[in-house]
Structure 1
Amino acid sequence: MSNRAFSNLRRLLLGGLLASVVSSILPWSQAIADDAKTLRIGYQKFNSVNILKGTGALEKALAAQGVKVSWHEFAAGPQLLEALSTGAIDLGHAADAPSVFAQAAGKPVVYLAAEQPYPRGIGLVVREQDHITSVQELKGKRVATGRGWNAQYLLAVALQQAGLSYQDVTPAYVNNAADAVAALQSGSVQASTLWDPFLAAAEQQPGLKNLRDGSGLTNNRTFYLSTASFADQHREWLKTFFSELAKVSQWANAKPAEVASLLAPQLGIKPEVLEVASERRNYNAVPITPAIVAEQQKLADTFQGLGLIPHKLNVADAVYPTAVLP
């Protein structure tokens, strides 16, 4: 083969190799670009975020900015906040206690906004056959709860109000509401801490009753959280999110039966259960005020006093300093 022929062959081979490399890189580049323009939202069953997902309104609003939306369901707040802290999602919601535990664990999450108080949305559930009629009677009993749950905080403060301490019960830690209910029904525990809609479902089951809800003990707020780095870079996305959330929240507050009909097929929960839970909830998001920070600080201090958080927290350090609500 002549030098000229060899040179031509080499050019053809190199050209083919480069084309192959480029063609293999382009899909990855496109995937990265698509991911960079996707708002990844974590949610739990039955929340204004869950309702927003069901309407499809956010997808339409963000499409004008060239942004897609992906939704990721979590069993409870601690799992959602773990995903948020590791960068698996960009935005999500969790109750008061999981948010405090995330800060205590050094997770880089920040408070963006809060929901209105929802004290009747958590409860201590017992079996009627056990004839437990007061929180005082939980002394020496086993109680199913989750580490860092909002309902775990209810258990702690309800025991304090009853003149008992957290050490007067034996916590049986579970990972989700279904396991808490199963433990109670089997008799392996004498009480379970639950939150809506699982609480509302338990209240309608024969043989179960809500011994104590959060009224007068805890506001049981839901918080909207992200990371400071994401919020800094995508403030317009967040403003669009909260704008659409406000619209759907106003509708949800006025139409609890329609909320139940929307969510029942998604969640596999009876509409009548969801309607009960929705009627006792105010979905509106509000800014993080000093009073709300003080609520969270009290919660953090309570868990620290129980030895469940090892050190003093300053909740205000985790509040995002720039307003994102419309």
Structure 2
Amino acid sequence: MPTLRFSFDILSIFRRAWSRPLGAVALAISGVAWVAPSRAADLPVLKVGDQSLQTRGILEASGQLKDLPYRIEWFNFPAAQPLGEALNAGAVDVGGLGDAPLVFALAAGARVRAVAATRSNPLDLAIVVGAQSPLNDVASLKGKRIATTRGSIGHYLALAALKKANVPATGVTFVFLAPADAKAALASGSVDAWSVWDPYTALGEARDHDRIIANGVGLSEGLSYQVATERAIADKHAQLADFLRRVAIGQRWALSHPDEVAVMQSRVTGLPVDVLKTVYQRGQVHPVTIDDSVVSAQQRTADTYEAANVIRAHLDVRTSFDRSFPLP
């Protein structure tokens, strides 16, 4: 049986999630390797970037981490931007990014490709305000301060929601913060709203009674990807193919077993089980084939960022996909 080797207490990261920022450097050393001790030295290593340990939680709960023919070293990040930076630097081989963060990474010159895709119900992608806030809709954000993470799906949602409400992006002040810092800013009143995603949305609702004034339904494509470096695709194709197969199987299993996933994820992260049940029940994350409709949707996301000057040049996303990893 594989055993877990922790480089330090990863659970404490999440128990302190609202109390201090989680930097990419600290998280980049939070690797967790699944090791079969008798043959560990002979196994290839796949370095996997995760956000809030969601991929790892699904794989562990669904039993897909058993009998690996390679070792996984997990690197956990609080948001997509530092994970994208780690991919760009080659510090991880593969990791999960939303559609907007992938655009942001590609525009920064990252030599990566989307190798697997999922769709979700973007109810979890939300603009939230404090329980006592007088703000009730996106139009009321004019002249206000919105916290989000630069290049994130939260950033994308804020831009799309403002456009729909006929509020120019220049009519608000964006405050770009990591999630823990953004939460602290919302709680202190130094920002008026926070554009964010699960599990942060669900945790804020449950713990602080944050209110959602807009969500991603009708605004977000609901696409996320497993993104691999070009080098990993070339040098670790077999390991990537096996990992992506296990992820897809685990995601399908999780759709009908949200309670089991939430319990396992709670053990891994320290987040409350009821919060994690909300995450999985409303997200309905399911794998989809990378086809022309996915590519077209991704191009719309890139075009939105270009129009808002988040990226400076036109990005043709067709070259950012690798379709050599079919769904199981």
TM bin (shorter chain): 0.7 to 0.9
Aligned positions of 1:41-80 closer than 5 A = 41-53=48-60, 57-62=64-69, 67-80=70-83
Aligned positions of 1:172-251 closer than 5 A = 172-175=175-178, 177-251=179-253
Question: What SS does structure 2 have at the residue aligned with 1:204?
Answer: helix
Are residue 108 (structure 1) and residue 115 (structure 2) matched? no
For the Cα contact (< 8 Å) 2:121–2:285, is it kept in 1?
no
1: CA distance between counterparts of 2:41 and 2:157? 42
User: Match for 1:40: what amino acid?
Assistant: K
User: Match for 1:44: what amino acid?
Assistant: Q
Are residue 139 (structure 1) and residue 146 (structure 2) matched? no
Question: What SS does structure 1 have at the residue aligned with 2:68?
Answer: helix
2: CA distance between counterparts of 1:54 and 1:79? 26
2: CA distance between counterparts of 1:107 and 1:283? 26
Distance 1:90-1:262 versus aligned 2 partners, 3 A rule: same
User: Match for 2:52: what amino acid?
Assistant: K
2: CA distance between counterparts of 1:160 and 1:34? 54
Gapped regions of structure 2 (runs ≥ 5): 1-39
1: CA distance between counterparts of 2:258 and 2:269? 15
User: Match for 1:86: what amino acid?
Assistant: A
Gapped regions of structure 1 (runs ≥ 5): 1-32
Greater C-alpha radius of gyration: 1
- Report the CA distance between 1:133 and its aligned residue: 1.1
Aligned pair partner of 2:159 in 152, 156, 161: 156
Question: What SS does structure 2 have at the residue aligned with 1:118?
Answer: coil
- Report the CA distance between 1:277 and its aligned residue: 0.9
Are residue 170 (structure 1) and residue 177 (structure 2) matched? no
1: CA distance between counterparts of 2:48 and 2:253? 21
Question: What SS does structure 2 have at the residue aligned with 1:72?
Answer: strand
Aligned pair partner of 2:86 in 67, 83, 87: 83
Q: CA RMSD in A?
A: 1.9
2: CA distance between counterparts of 1:245 and 1:208? 32
User: Structure 2 length normalisation: TM-score?
Assistant: 0.83
For the Cα contact (< 8 Å) 1:43–1:50, is it kept in 2?
no
User: Structure 1 length normalisation: TM-score?
Assistant: 0.84
- Report the CA distance between 1:61 and its aligned residue: 3.0
Are residue 130 (structure 1) and residue 130 (structure 2) matched? no
- Report the CA distance between 1:49 and its aligned residue: 4.1
Question: What SS does structure 1 have at the residue aligned with 2:95?
Answer: strand
User: Match for 1:95: what amino acid?
Assistant: G
For the Cα contact (< 8 Å) 1:249–1:284, is it kept in 2?
yes
